[in-house]
Amino acid sequence: MEENYSKPPGIRFMERAKKSSLSFKTYQAIVLIVTFLAYASYHATRKTTSIVKSALDPQTPGVDGLMFPWQRHTTQESSRLSWMLKDGWLPFNGHDGTAMLGQLDVSFLFVYAMGMYFSGHVGDRMDLRIFLTIGMVGTGLFTALFGVGYWANVHIFYYYLIVQMMAGLFQSTGWPSVVAVVGNWFGKKKRGLIMGIWNAHTSIGNITGSLVASILLKYGWGWSMVVPGSIIAIIGVLVFLFLPVHPESVGANHDEDEDEVFSPRKEGEEVTEPLLRSDREEESAVGFIEAWKIPGVAPFALCLFFAKLVAYTFLYWLPFYISHTAIDGKYLSNEEAGNLSTLFDVGGVVGGILAGYISDRLGARAITAASFMYCAIPVLYLYRSYGHISMTINIILMLITGVFVNGPYALITTAVSADLGTHSSLKGNSRALATVTAIIDGTGSIGAAIGPLLTGYISAMSWSAVFTMLMGAAFIAGLLLTRLVVAEVGANIHQLGSPRSRSPDLEV
């Protein structure tokens, strides 16, 4: 009875239609596709606010993120004219509208980061399919409620602030859940490569959200929020219908693909039992403090703090930086700068796949992540120093920057989180994936909020100072993995000549 209850209704329908169980690889394909769509929709709704800003505050340049004092170049006369023409949307089209939009961003990211810890804790204690569905429908509801303010003629700042904070809370359910589910279905052997490819959902979601919101903006900014909100809610229903959380929930046979999913009952091997199982009383979810004590969790969480600080600074500020930097003596429009900035995401997709593949081949997550972070330092310097010479050089350097900045970020939030959530120190207790993922990405998300905030103030003095900050953050991120790198180097040297090598456990 328990197994039938936990099996998704859509899977049961497919098996009845086929009159037999699906193959293990078919289940894996369903998991990858459904979780890919799920998290892409999370990022699509997260991106819409940045597009709507130009309609809420016409005096705000086309900037994807926080704005601060240097925007005082807007003249008093143009502000008065904008007010008389009733451009924009009260209260965001006033003299302090830019600051209000900045407060929405900071509030969203802060609640998202704090909610991540809570979501991981809850996610390891309930059915992740249900938990993810609730998170997606809730995200869709509050994203749409932001847009409803357009038709309801709402001009109260605190309405939009509360709605954004609630959206951030529900958004925090996504990442721990999807990583935990994918981690349940794929073993370490190819986890880095598979998750590197799968992690493209972030960039696809960003691009899709931007395109959908931009197209709908001319019909009224409310549509740019309501439609993406409706889309994520619909995909949330698909998650409820089709997402198998773990092999046991659908009666899948591990032996069909022994290399992909490690059997929890093989002596001497790392235990990767399913996250949720019918006989729950046999094991309890790992506590928040216990999860922090898992070897490798704290170093990777702190590393991601600085890695995300760098990555999200580019996410929020790159279009602004491009539009305010002459390339080959010519300034690009806000639209051109926004389009050009998408190449950073393209580089990020390549970086995520490359980092995952290399870490699989080397059997060394920490070495790969640290190497990418150290390589990002000279690349950031080159982009700042020579990116303005020509469009070709700018494009090449931007792509390379995306590779080295987003590569380790993608690796740590996917394969590393899944590895640590099934660490051998758990001794068979697999109910830690969501908690570990939440700890790592939640800590990283605090850095994601701090980076753009610091950039807002530092860039008022000098963009070179901003890039110096980013290079320093990349250096610290690599430095935090030193002990793990040394451990992995030692483990790999020890395993040289071994007929069958396995990825070393992440120990310190």
Q: How far is CA 371 from CA 349, 398, 405, 506, in A?
A: 17, 19, 11, 16
Calculate the average pLDDT of the chain. Answer: 79
- Which of the 8 DSSP states describes residue 78? H
> Is the preceding omega at residue 91 within 30 degrees of 0, hence cis?
yes
Using only C-alpha atoms, the chain has a radius of gyration, in whole angstroms, of: 23
Contact between residue 140 and residue 233 where contact means Cβ atoms under 8 Å apart: yes
Residue 190 confidence (pLDDT):
64
Q: Which residue has the higher pLDDT, 114 or 63?
A: 114
Residue 15 confidence (pLDDT):
85
The pLDDT > 90 percentage for the chain reads 31
> Which among 105, 94, 177, 99 has a CA at the least distance from the CA of 135?
177
Residue 360 confidence (pLDDT):
84
Q: How far is CA 410 from the centre of its chain?
A: 8
370-425 pLDDT, tens digit each: 999 999 999 999 999 999 999 999 999 999 999 999 989 888 877 787 677 655 55
**Model confidence band, residue 302 (pLDDT cutoffs 50, 70, 90):** very high
Residue 286 confidence (pLDDT):
59
Q: Render the burial of 53-67: b for 16+ CB within 10 Å, e for the rest.
A: bbbbbbbbbbbbbbb
Amino acid 409 reads: Y
> Which among 122, 422, 127, 425 has a CA at the least distance from the CA of 276?
127
**Model confidence band, residue 284 (pLDDT cutoffs 50, 70, 90):** low
304-363 pLDDT, tens digit each: 999 999 988 887 778 778 877 888 888 877 667 767 877 888 898 899 889 988 988 888
All domains in the chain, ordered by first residue: 7-61+90-253 (1.20.1250.20), 285-491 (1.20.1250.20)
With H, G, I as helix, E, B as strand and everything else as coil, classify residue 327: strand
Q: How far is CA 356 from the centre of its chain?
A: 16
CA pair distance 380, 198, nearest whole angstrom: 26
58-102 pLDDT, tens digit each: 654 443 333 333 333 444 444 443 433 346 788 888 777 766 777
Query: Which range has highest mean pLDDT (109-123, 247-261, 409-423, 489-503)?
Result: 109-123
Burial of 462 (0-12, 13-18, 19+ CB in 10 A): exposed
- Which of the 8 DSSP states describes residue 95? T
